[in-house]
Chain A
């Protein structure tokens, strides 16, 4: 979105947007018409920027929360597995837990 200066003099407001993946330039006009369109576009741009910033902030917060849950889940899983191993079990091919034949007593 920009003001273009024409050879004949005066400024002309244009805006570019994508239509079916192609950039299309729309010639809005000069004077009051161009001024109104420029202000509306600036407002819309600001709204989008604010939305994007809010989304970034929310996303960072969500990542932080997900990180906490990940840490917790990993820790709990570790303690559970450690408890099973200490109790004389072994995991069979990453699946079922079975009691060790030697029950870990001869270690």
Chain B
């Protein structure tokens, strides 16, 4: 572990890139098929079962958790693609006019947020958590925007208002939870990040171009 930490500290500071080294080159978030999404959610589902068992103090699932993480280095990237897919649908709903350039402005803003939150030399896990923070933030903007727009039109019924308020509250909860998890991971330091970052370092030598 000490060796690993030293090797990470020796790495030059790399700025955040949207498609960095280690990310599958042909990945296109918007083109994610239903089958790919299902396969991804199945892996995560199995992982969830094991994590829940482990949370109850059972140590038996740990080897399988490690195995899944080791054998699925693409998991973090796939989830990031899923995040982009979700982001795409949010921006599509938020900016309906095509060609106004607003979508591009929003995309650039989200990319800047991701960069700022993930920081320098982010591990795939940190990137993933940053994606989650950005997408939950985007959801808050969408729900608050709709609420404000409906209120200003005077078109909101009591039931609609309650529904929209509930959605906003839930979005804030998700956002805060996302921030909390990233803070926890950062607090625990490199020991957590190295485990996943190793895969990123390994793939660096395989000549996958960053895009």
Contacts and interface: CB of A to CB of B under 8 A. Distances in A.
Contacts of B48: 74, 78
B201 interface: no
B196 interface: yes
A62 B83 CA distance: 16
Interface residues of B, number: 55
A83 B125 contact: yes
A70 to B, nearest CB: 8
Interface residues of A, number: 36
A76 B129 contact: yes
A77 interface: yes
A107 B59 contact: yes
Contact of B135 (A69, A86, A97, A107): A69
What DSSP secondary structure best describes chain A's contact surface? helix
B41 A71 contact: yes
B68 A68 contact: no
Interface in A55-90: 55, 58-59, 61-62, 64-66, 68-89
Given A65-B89, A73-B178, A78 B167 contact: no
Listed residue (A71, A74, A79) with the most chain B CB atoms within 10 angstroms of its CB: A79
B59 A68 contact: no
B93 to A, nearest CB: 7
B79 interface: yes
A51 to B, nearest CB: 7
B163 A59 contact: yes
Nearest to B128: A76
Interface in B153-211: 155, 160, 163, 167, 170-171, 174, 177-178, 181, 184-185, 188, 191-192, 195-196
22 contacts: A55-B160, A62-B146, A68-B86, A69-B135, A69-B136, A70-B174, A71-B82, A72-B79, A75-B40, A75-B82, A76-B178, A77-B181, A80-B129, A81-B51, A82-B47, A82-B65, A83-B195, A84-B188, A87-B188, A87-B192, A89-B192, A91-B55
Interface of A: 51, 55, 58-59, 61-62, 64-66, 68-89, 91, 97, 99, 104, 107
Given A69-B136, A79-B125, 9 more contacts: A62-B143, A68-B86, A77-B181, A81-B51, A81-B55, A82-B47, A83-B195, A84-B192, A88-B191
